[in-house]
A and B are shown apart, each in its own frame.
Chain A
């Protein structure tokens, strides 16, 4: 559906985006994650044809965004980070202007506007001047504009910025709902959001992709090691020794006594091997009861920090 090949964008000597390659399947919700200034907006601006790339190409449905730009634009709805609103217009006037720009026929115009206002819950402010709306409403008018004409592809740049928690949940649910029959690229620097909404995440830093996978897979594959926290009863030195004998264990640390006669351990293992069963049977064999065991996954947040900070250091 969307095919991004060797995409680079330079502003003079500054490289905003470097050699991006990725594709998005039909019906997929892709999360674009990265710190501020990582190149998310630049990439989205290129995909939507607002700015041309310095190198590389973007194809949507096999059509190049530069060569077939008018055709491509019909299939894309874009909600930029700062909603492109004409503040002297009312919500309804604005949407009807946007609909005309998108070449929606006169017949479908009002139906289409009603529909997007309903979806983004802005029907009650339809007669108000955009200038007088709160930030949350403005944001939603921006999203409503992107939904006009039911484009196949939706590009949403930080769609929940400036919304209150209730609205954020509403917008997330809306995005999930839309994801059923749209292809969506969504950018954010808020991790739980990407985690909650997206099927796949691309982490971008300093204009480069540093990771790309499903959110849960990311935490597995990117963690250097897996940590298991366990509370085991029995003599500490013997237990430690037994654990160390298990294949894949890198290190065992004790972190203290929570309950009487038992000890809390942190076991670091290689990411490719799951030792939990082995651990259980070994302990049972030696009559060291395992009271608690928890596989500690790196959160997306930790991965994100890890990836983006090391990148930064390398860059310097």
Chain B
């Protein structure tokens, strides 16, 4: 698994896609930071505001996560390199896990760059470190959950563009879930079921400075669900297509 992880990270930073991802991510988050912080005066608790900025930044994830994840599995299949992985003494779970962690690591690099914003902020005003830290934990978990969806999308197609679009669509559906829930006249059980997919709602607690262990467990189960689906997709294809 670590061999896969290392190769993936190395190839990310050797290929333009890595820099495109970081570029877009840093640009968009910088844009939201500037837009949300600058018009404020110093006395309206910028710390809370920054957590809100992070909340807005989850929106950028909608666009950048598919860029990050589209090639993970699609590229291997297209180039026929999956044959090397699958005939090596490495399990499919190890391959999926290694690739997933590599993408999470790359996302983390982007996220660490954005930490420069609260540092800038701290020069001008008092910041609430707690809120910012939980906010970062929150956005990290949201990103990690999105990446799990992205890698699943990547397992569905040989074509990177298709994978990216699929990933984007899945995330978009997740994004409009709340509105969707209101639209569909569902029973209580149905509502509860849909609540399970309200990834973004779970973020709110983190942005309020709360560290909710239940939410963490929610994210972890969400991630495992999609990694499992990815694993099953690969397994199933071996049996049906080869």
* A interface, CB within 8 angstroms of B: 9, 11-12, 42, 45, 48-52, 70-71, 73-74, 76, 78, 80, 82, 84-89, 93, 97-98, 100-103, 145
Contact = CB atoms under 8 A, between A and B. Distances in A.
B80 A84 contact: yes
A210 B235 CA distance: 32
Contacts of B7: 86, 89, 97
Contact of A48 (B2, B80, B87): B87
Contacts of A102: 88-89
Contact of A49 (B10, B81, B86): B86
A311 B85 CA distance: 36
Contacts, number: 73
Given A48-B87, A73-B89, A82-B80, A88 B241 contact: no
Interface of B: 2-4, 6-7, 10-11, 14-15, 79-91, 238-242
The 4 closest A-B pairs by CB, nearest first: A100-B3, A84-B84, A51-B242, A101-B88
Contacts of A45: 83, 242
Contacts of B86: 49-50
A84 B77 CA distance: 10
A88 B83 contact: no
B242 A88 contact: no
B83 A50 contact: yes
A76 B87 CA distance: 8
A80 B242 contact: no
Given A88-B14, A97-B7, A78 B83 contact: yes
Contacts of A85: 79, 81
14 contacts: A51-B239, A51-B242, A52-B238, A70-B90, A70-B91, A73-B89, A76-B87, A80-B80, A80-B83, A82-B80, A86-B11, A97-B7, A101-B84, A101-B88
Contacts of A80: 80, 83
Given A76-B87, A84-B81, A100-B3, 10 more contacts: A45-B83, A49-B86, A49-B87, A50-B87, A71-B89, A74-B89, A80-B80, A84-B82, A86-B81, A100-B6
Contacts of B14: 88
Most A CB contacts (10 A, CB to CB) among B10, B14, B15, B81 go to B81
A49 B83 CA distance: 10
B80 A73 contact: no
Contacts of B91: 70
Contacts of B3: 97, 100-101
Nearest to A71: B89
B79, B238, B242: residue with the most chain A Cβ atoms closer than 10 Å: B242
Contact of A42 (B82, B87, B240, B242): B242
B88 A98 contact: yes
A93 B10 CA distance: 10
Nearest to A65: B87
A268 B51 CA distance: 93
Contacts of B11: 86, 88-89
Contacts of B84: 84, 98, 101, 145
A101 B90 contact: yes
Contacts of B85: 101
Nearest to A145: B84
Contacts of A88: 11, 14-15
Contacts of A76: 87
A274 to B, nearest CB: 47
Given A52-B239, A82-B80, A88-B11, A103 B87 contact: no
Contacts of A70: 89-91
A9 B242 contact: yes
A102 B240 CA distance: 26
B204 to A, nearest CB: 41
Contacts of B88: 73, 98, 101-102
A103 B91 CA distance: 12
Contact of B79 (A49, A84, A100): A84
A78 B87 contact: yes
Contacts of B238: 50-52
Nearest to A81: B80
Contact of B83 (A84, A89, A103): A84
A207 to B, nearest CB: 13
Nearest to A82: B80
B124 to A, nearest CB: 43
B80 to A, nearest CB: 5
Nearest to B3: A100
A148 to B, nearest CB: 10
Q: Which of A80, A100, A101, A103 gathers most chain B CB within 10 Å?
A: A101
